[in-house]
Amino acid sequence: MLSFLRINRNIRTIRRYRNVLGILIKYGFGHVVEQLNINYYLELGRRIVTLGTAPKEIERLSQPERLRLAMVELGPTFIKLGQILSTRPDIIPKEYADEFGKLQDRVPSIPMEEVEGEIHRELGYPIDELFSELSDYPIAAASMAQVHRGRLKSGEDVVVKIRRPGLKQVIETDVDILMGLAYLIEHHIPAGEIYDPIGIVKEFRRSINREMDFSREGHTIDRFAANFAGTSTVHVPRVFWEYTGETVLTMEYVDGIKVSDMDRLQSEGYDLKKIAHNGADAFLKQVLVDGLFHGDPHPGNFFILPQNVICMLDYGMVGRLDAELKFQLADLLMAVLNRDVDSVISLLLYSGEIIEDINTKHLKRDLSELIDDYYEIPLQEINAGKLLTEFIEILTHYRIKFPADLMLLGKALITIEGIGRQLDPEFNMIEHLRPFMEKLVKEKATPANVSREMFRIAQSYGALAKNLPRDIKEFINRVNHNKFKIDLEHRGLEKLITDLDKSSNRLSFSLLIASIIVGSSLIMQTEKGPMLFGFPMLGLLGYSIAGFLGLWLAIGILRSGRL
């Protein structure tokens, strides 16, 4: 196994392995655990789990429901993994993505003593030297952090986000376990490599490490503030850097109304239609202009301030689109809106990652049917969220995988449109989307961008031409000196080796039992030595040992479930 997949064999990790596998078995995934052949890799010399069956009430649930419940019981690392996977219907089945979207990580708050200790460790001062007030009870508590309201010595009202003590060690252990399980899934579960479990865990490790560092979130907030500087319709909270670190984030307290509280918004005179339009424009600016967008725009993360100003909260999950990805997205959306199926297929094959061979004829048929369904509908009446959902279902069916940020964007766009339609039944995302896309397409065609792209292509070919003679020479030298090697990786042979080892052990055990029986029978014929009940005691002892060993072997075979 590769070095980065080696298992840390300390007691805490082994106990966590037992806990993880035990919970998976509890929720009816014992057959998957058995397929992973994990005992072989751990090399513990004993079973770390005992396979069993799930309780009857759990067996009645669907597999996605059982897996969601298992993630909740496994804790914050697995909950976060499920939440991220819920945004990736292109790499996991839709029913699992939908179920993981229900994951919540609300947990009991940590004691105030631990909060004070974490702030002191991170900022270097006790809280009474930093804050004139800090509430004893959190205004929000999740598995990774909790938030308290406070007031600085200088008088500003703030909210303080504190990471749970010891969380980093727990997540590091769990991610190591996930990486080991991903390796086993890819090598032992049929078609497991199609879902690229190792790639998913690597992306998850990068994402959760960034989310755990609150100073990164602070810098992200500052970038959003710079992007919306001078904008009268969006407010971004201020970060107080002298009270912020890796595990503590202190921000301006915002007193607003949740966008979901529409009755209160209406009663206080807010313009719901204007809020919907301002929100859509702000989100599309993030995506198609700034290339940095809020990745979790659910209603709880949007407050409405006086003058219909929108304030976004919780910047832990964000998406990023570089210039090339923005241009690809604009081309793809314009091709869909222009009902150009050939261009859509060409862009999909160029932009997406094809996991397996696809039937382009069937893909073209399905895309044509999708576009035909919307052909007679005026653009202003098209439901962009529904169109995008159906489009992603086609991508999923043909195993076309897109960058994680694009899939996160898809889910965020659907959420934004849903909020917009709640605020304004006549709201239509296409009306806001098309001007941004047309502007982006024109920007792509400017002389500056065209010359920049041609220069980049020329550089790539120049580097290739420069390195090609050296690479060819090195290849020929390796062949001439018999140093040319091809690495071959076997898949699934470990389980075959283990099964052969078990079979040979059982066969040897059976021969030993047979030998003891034959020897005891010969002793019984001699009628010599100490006697018991008229039979040689040594022969009776041999029969007893053979019977005990035979019973032990039979129980072992029956427990394995394979006669």
Q: In a structure prediction context, what are the per-residue pLDDT tens digits for the chain, which is 563 residues long?
A: 444 344 444 556 777 888 888 888 888 887 777 777 665 555 444 455 555 555 667 778 888 888 888 888 888 888 888 888 887 776 777 788 888 888 876 677 888 999 999 999 999 999 999 999 999 999 888 888 899 999 999 999 999 999 999 888 888 888 888 888 888 777 776 655 666 788 888 888 888 888 889 999 999 999 999 999 988 899 999 999 999 999 999 999 999 999 989 899 999 999 999 999 999 999 989 988 898 999 888 888 889 999 999 999 888 888 888 887 787 777 777 777 677 777 877 777 766 666 556 777 888 888 888 777 766 666 566 676 677 777 777 877 777 777 777 778 878 888 888 888 889 888 888 778 778 877 777 777 777 777 777 877 788 778 878 888 887 888 788 777 777 676 665 555 556 666 676 777 778 778 888 888 887 777 777 767 677 766 777 777 877 888 888 787 777 766 665 55
In single-letter form, the type of residue at position 492 comes to: G
CATH number of 112-168+211-270+299-317: 1.10.510.10
Per-residue confidence (pLDDT) for residue 497, from 0 to 100: 65
Tens of pLDDT, residue by residue over 67-83, are 888 888 888 888 888 88
Per-residue confidence (pLDDT) for residue 151, from 0 to 100: 95
Per-residue confidence (pLDDT) for residue 310, from 0 to 100: 94
Contact by Cβ (8 Å): 317, 335: no
Q: Rounded to 5 degrees, what are φ and ψ at 474?
A: -65, -40
Smallest CA-to-CA distance from 396 within 358, 445, 343, 351 is with 358
Give the pairing type, strands 140-141 and 145-152.
antiparallel
Which segments of 94-213 does DSSP mark as H helices, in order? 94-100, 112-123, 127-130, 167-188, 197-212
Per-residue confidence (pLDDT) for residue 90, from 0 to 100: 67
Cα–Cα distance for residue pair 74/3, rounded to 1 Å? 26
For 136, half-sphere exposure in the C-beta direction (CA atoms, 13 angstrom radius) is 1
Cα dihedral value 521, 525, 526, 529, nearest 10: 60
List, by residue number, the catalytic residues: 296
Per-residue confidence (pLDDT) for residue 18, from 0 to 100: 80
CA-to-CA separations, 516 to 520, 543, 544, in angstroms, rounded: 6, 7, 10
Cα–Cα distance for residue pair 437/289, rounded to 1 Å? 10
| Burial (CB count within 10 angstroms: exposed 0-12, middle 13-18, buried 19+), residue 528 | exposed
Domain ranges in the chain are: 3-104+170-199, 112-168+211-270+299-317, 319-445, 451-484, 493-560
Tens of pLDDT, residue by residue over 243-272, are 999 999 999 999 999 998 989 999 999 999
Which residues are within 8 A (CB) of 83 and not within 5 positions of it... i.e. 6 or more apart?
100, 101, 103, 105
Per-residue burial over 190-204, b = 16 or more CB atoms within 10 Å of its CB, e = otherwise: eebbebbbbbbbebb
